[in-house]
A and B are shown apart, each in its own frame.
Chain A
Amino acid sequence: MLALLPGLLVKLATRGARRLGLMPQSTYVHEIMQALKRGDLDEAVSVYRLCVSRRQASNITEVARELIEQFVDIRVDKLQSRIDEIENILRARKSLHARLRRWWARVLGLFGRKPLPEARCESELRAELAEHKAMIEGLLDIKTHLRSIG
């Protein structure tokens, strides 16, 4: 049991140093990169915060920050293209042809047809749109936060 003590102490010391932001910055940068490879943005940001909590960001840490920002930008672009797609669908539904189709489906609904699936779909699309917009705001906040702490 006593033989394990030095190893345990070293392990605890390194763990404590990591939590206090005392490890070399390259250790944290490595962790940030692993998190980005997994697609874990929250982990990458929290490790970055830890990394710059006690010391000024080194050049390599600045590069890591830019890589996190790139990751954020890629996500924002993807969300934005989905938002554009949804907005196009919703815009198309406002056309005269689409309105007439909906009106006709409603008339048919009076005679025992199923309720309009399109109407349900539209509300789902609007919910998705709102969700994506909120996500973009959150991501841009993360980016601003990263710049302010860097």
Chain B
Amino acid sequence: MKKRVTKTAVAGGVGFLGGLLLEQGLESLTGLDFVDGVFAVGGSVLAAMHVNRDLVEVASENIKAMFGKDPLEITEDDWKQYKAKYPKSAVYLEKALGV
């Protein structure tokens, strides 16, 4: 989990720096200021990158609220109950967390 979050954060940082360099380069070449537009598109790209982390975070909060304990502490029965009720989320979480 920690490794995955770190990887996503690093990828986001690298993407941001890449976008910044590209933007600076284009601005200096063309002399045009298109900060707003690039940020808007960049936002969408970043959103796509962060979706995985967001889903896991929200699911984790939901599990906490449902069972009153941390997702790492839930029992197999709790998990089966969750999986029966929300099959797609459970499968997604299993894949995302490599369970």
Indicate if the CB atoms of A59 and B88 lie closer than 8 Å: yes
Residues of the A chain whose Cβ atoms lie less than 8 Å from the Cβ of B66: 70, 73-74, 77
Residues of the B chain whose Cβ atoms lie less than 8 Å from the Cβ of A69: 86
The contact of B40 among A10, A29, A33, by CB within 8 Å, is A10
**Interface segment, one of A20-28, A107-115, A117-125, A132-140:** A20-28
A residues 68-117 touching B (CB-CB < 8 Å): 69-71, 73-74, 77
The contact of A60 among B44, B50, B51, B61, by CB within 8 Å, is B51
- The verdict on B14 contacting chain A, using a C-beta distance below 8 Å, is no
A residues 1-48 touching B (CB-CB < 8 Å): 3-4, 6-11, 14-15, 23-24, 26-27, 29-31, 33-34, 36-37
Indicate if the CB atoms of B86 and A11 lie closer than 8 Å: no
Give the complex CA separation of A54 and B61 in angstroms: 30
B24 CB to nearest chain A CB (Å): 14
B34 CB to nearest chain A CB (Å): 4
- The verdict on A67 contacting chain B, using a C-beta distance below 8 Å, is yes
Indicate if the CB atoms of B55 and A64 lie closer than 8 Å: yes
Indicate if the CB atoms of B51 and A8 lie closer than 8 Å: no
The contact of B54 among A15, A30, A71, A73, by CB within 8 Å, is A30
The contact of B44 among A4, A23, A59, A74, by CB within 8 Å, is A23
- CB nearest to B64 among chain A residues: A74
Indicate if the CB atoms of A10 and B88 lie closer than 8 Å: no
Indicate if the CB atoms of A24 and B44 lie closer than 8 Å: yes
Number of residues in A with C-beta < 8 Å to the partner? 34
Give the complex CA separation of A30 and B50 in angstroms: 7
B residues 11-64 touching A (CB-CB < 8 Å): 31-38, 40-41, 44, 47-48, 50-51, 54-55, 57-59, 61-62
Interface residues of A (CB under 8 A from B): 3-4, 6-11, 14-15, 23-24, 26-27, 29-31, 33-34, 36-37, 59-60, 62-64, 66-67, 69-71, 73-74, 77
Interface residues of B (CB under 8 A from A): 31-38, 40-41, 44, 47-48, 50-51, 54-55, 57-59, 61-62, 65-66, 85-86, 88-89, 92
